[in-house]
């Protein structure tokens, strides 16, 4: 029987709750679809950091490298500064495994009402550059605490990095029905890196005549997302810009609790990582009411990536059946808990 080895990293907060739900649903699906998923859990979390001083133990990434995919919950704790937890766990994996293409779909699932007028037109995929840009880590801080203290945060854009994300975006856009790709930058104000983004985009575009494109500045695209959602389809943007836009996209499509993401190494030299984008949500941790839909959706993306498109589609259908029946957690205005949504999706499978 075909077997996939999946590393699960529940991490912090509700990450533990939604990953448990995800493993339950995936295991039941695998049984029906005749393949095996071997999950191995890693306790890499803020709790571990506070106890041992490291999120990832020595040799951890080497071990993680041997898996077919990574199923990730969330990282972030009230007891650890956010920049420590992010740079301690999630970024070493994204950057270490060259997961440069971050894919973030948004759609108003059946039964969910968008707060936005015309929100039903939302069917977007945001492609976030995931290896450099504003998250390069380049910069520094000197004269700490002195009046002349100085800090720099340098965005780094390389031709290799920009070219590969644009190529990925064109490839994805051309497989979607509308074949439409929007380039989002801020090349009026950021006149070096973002101009490089624009230039390379139009170089690559020549190889994809079937894809229709447009270019919008990042501030202007927020108004377009809100006022004319149907005019957008696939969007490519830098690490920080796409981070911000994808939260807006999630809120407009119903809730942050349904939004999934895939951190892909398209060349498959390293495992890719699949996670909900909502984060650890300590305000609701332990209450059993976290929305597991984002995790189920990202699980479907993981199956697609592993080469199980039939199972991926079956899971997506089961998710849609569940939202159609409005088995909702409180973030979607419902009264159900994680368990009830998980059971509903398993029934629908």
Nearest residue (CB) to ligand IPM, 161 versus 279 = 279
Q: Which long-range contacts (CB under 8 A, 24 or more apart) does 203-208 make?
A: 204/163, 204/166, 204/167, 204/170, 205/170, 207/170, 208/170, 208/173, 208/174
Binding site for ligand IPM (CB under 6 A): 76, 86, 243, 277, 279
Query: Which partner in ligand IPM, Mg ion, none is near 132 (CB below 5 to 8 A by kind)?
Result: none
Nearest residue (CB) to Mg ion, 46 versus 342 = 46
Q: How far is residue 320's CA from residue 107's CA, in Å, rounded to a whole number? A: 11
Separation in Å, CA 204 to CA 127, 163, 173, 198, 285: 16, 8, 13, 10, 45
Query: Which partner in ligand IPM, Mg ion, none is near 193 (CB below 5 to 8 A by kind)?
Result: none
Question: Which positions from 32 through 91 interact with Mg ion, judged by CB under 5 A?
Answer: none
Minimal distance, residue 72 CB to ligand IPM, in Å: 10
Query: Which partner in ligand IPM, Mg ion, none is near 279 (CB below 5 to 8 A by kind)?
Result: ligand IPM
Nearest residue (CB) to Mg ion, 134 versus 337 = 134
Minimal distance, residue 281 CB to Mg ion, in Å: 13
Nearest residue (CB) to ligand IPM, 76 versus 254 = 76
Number of CB atoms found within 10 A of residue 139's CB:
11
Nearest residue (CB) to Mg ion, 276 versus 292 = 276
Minimal distance, residue 279 CB to ligand IPM, in Å: 5
Minimal distance, residue 247 CB to ligand IPM, in Å: 7
Query: Which partner in ligand IPM, Mg ion, none is near 86 (CB below 5 to 8 A by kind)?
Result: ligand IPM
233 near Mg ion (CB under 5 A): no
Minimal distance, residue 232 CB to ligand IPM, in Å: 19
Minimal distance, residue 180 CB to ligand IPM, in Å: 24
Q: How far is residue 91's CA from residue 72's CA, in Å, rounded to a whole number? A: 12
Which neighbouring-strand residues pair with 71?
8, 274
- Token pair recorded at residue 256: 């942050």
Candidate segments 119-127, 131-139, 224-232, 243-251, binder of Mg ion by CB under 5 A:
243-251
Minimal distance, residue 298 CB to Mg ion, in Å: 14
Minimal distance, residue 222 CB to ligand IPM, in Å: 16
275 near Mg ion (CB under 5 A): no
Nearest residue (CB) to ligand IPM, 249 versus 303 = 249
Nearest residue (CB) to ligand IPM, 74 versus 172 = 74
Query: Which partner in ligand IPM, Mg ion, none is near 15 (CB below 5 to 8 A by kind)?
Result: none
Nearest residue (CB) to ligand IPM, 29 versus 165 = 165
243 near Mg ion (CB under 5 A): yes
Number of CB atoms found within 10 A of residue 334's CB:
16
Query: Which partner in Mg ion, ligand IPM, none is near 345 (CB below 5 to 8 A by kind)?
Result: none
Point out which residues bind Mg ion (CB under 5 A).
Answer: 243
């Amino acid at each position: 029987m075909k077997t996939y080895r999946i590393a699960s990293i529940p991490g912090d907060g509700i990450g533990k709750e939604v990953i448990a739900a995800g493993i339950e649903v995936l295991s039941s699906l695998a049984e029906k679809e005749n393949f095996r998923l071997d999950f191995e859990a890693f306790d890499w979390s803020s709790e571990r950091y506070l106890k041992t001083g490291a999120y990832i133990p020595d040799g951890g990434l080497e071990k993680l490298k041997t898996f077919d995919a990574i199923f990730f919950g969330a990282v972030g704790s009230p007891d650890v500064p956010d920049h420590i937890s992010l740079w301690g766990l999630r970024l070493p994996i994204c950057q270490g495994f060259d997961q440069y293409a971050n894919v973030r779909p948004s759609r108003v699932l059946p039964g969910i009402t968008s707060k936005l007028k015309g929100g039903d037109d939302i069917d977007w995929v945001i492609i976030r550059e995931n290896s450099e840009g504003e998250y390069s880590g380049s910069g520094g801080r000197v004269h700490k605490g002195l009046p002349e203290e100085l800090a720099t945060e340098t965005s780094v854009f390389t031709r290799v990095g920009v070219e590969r994300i644009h190529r990925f975006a064109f490839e994805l856009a051309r497989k979607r029905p509308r074949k439409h790709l929007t380039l989002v930058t801020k090349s009026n104000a950021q006149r070096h890196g973002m101009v490089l983004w624009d230039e390379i985009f139009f170089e690559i575009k020549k190889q994809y005549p079937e894809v229709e494109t447009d270019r919008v500045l990042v501030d202007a695209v927020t108004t377009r997302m809100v006022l004319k959602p149907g005019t957008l389809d696939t969007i490519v943007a830098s690490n920080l810009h796409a981070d911000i836009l994808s939260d807006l996209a999630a809120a407009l499509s119903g809730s942050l609790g349904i939004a999934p993401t895939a951190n892909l190494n398209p060349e498959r030299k390293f495992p890719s990582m699949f996670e909900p984008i909502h984060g650890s949500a300590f305000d609701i941790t332990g209450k059993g009411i976290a929305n597991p839909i984002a995790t189920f959706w990202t699980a479907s993306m993981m199956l697609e990536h592993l080469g199980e498109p039939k199972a991926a589609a079956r899971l997506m259908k089961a998710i849609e059946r569940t939202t159609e029946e409005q088995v909702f957690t409180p973030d979607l205005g419902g009264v159900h808990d994680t368990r009830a949504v998980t059971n509903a999706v398993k029934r629908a499978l």
